[in-house]
Amino acid sequence: MMSWLEAPPPEHSLRFSDGHGTWTSYPYTAMAEQVRRNAHRLHREGIGSGDVVLLLGQNTIGFVTTSPPKPPTGCRASTPGCAGSDTG
**Confidence bin at 88 (pLDDT 50/70/90):** very low
Q: Report the Cα 45 to chain-centroid distance in Å.
A: 14
Across the chain, mean pLDDT equals 75
pLDDT in tens, 37-61: 888 888 888 888 888 877 777 767 6
DSSP state of 67: P
pLDDT in tens, 63-74: 666 665 555 555
By CB atoms closer than 10 A (0-12, 13-18, 19+), residue 60 is middle
Nearest to 13 by CA among 64, 85, 73, 48: 64
More confident residue, 3 or 47: 47
Task: Determine the Cα–Cα distance for residues 86 and 77; give it in Å rounded to an integer.
Answer: 7
> Which residues are CB-contacts of 9 (< 8 A; sequence separation ≥ 6)?
28
